[in-house]
Amino acid sequence: MVKRLSALTLVEVDPQKEEVLSRDLKRIVEMFNEIARLEIAEGVEPLYTTFFGEVNLRDDEESEPVGVGGLNLCGERLEDGYLKSPKTL
């Protein structure tokens, strides 16, 4: 399945990662199959939002910008004046 999807999407997959990707794809397909098997009562309208009240927002208050100097708590994550975020992929 991984090789077929790789060919269809024109994405190269590292052969060492094919087994892990195959396992993950199987789990995803199983999850969607479970969702498809759910019994949903007839006439139930889709839920677009759960919020039906007034919005309780805070009042904006003017303040001084913090600047990079105020970020010294993140010491090791500052690089060249920029805050580095953790790698997500």
Q: How many residues comprise the chain?
A: 89
Spans of all domains in the chain: 1-40
Closest CA to 1 of 19, 14, 12: 19
pLDDT for res 54: 74
pTM as predicted: 0.44
Confidence of residue 56 (pLDDT cuts 50, 70, 90): confident
Instruction: Locate the DSSP E strands across the chain.
Output: 78-79, 82-83
pLDDT tens digits along 1-40: 888 888 999 989 898 999 999 999 999 999 999 988 988 8
* Cα Rg, the chain, nearest whole Å: 24
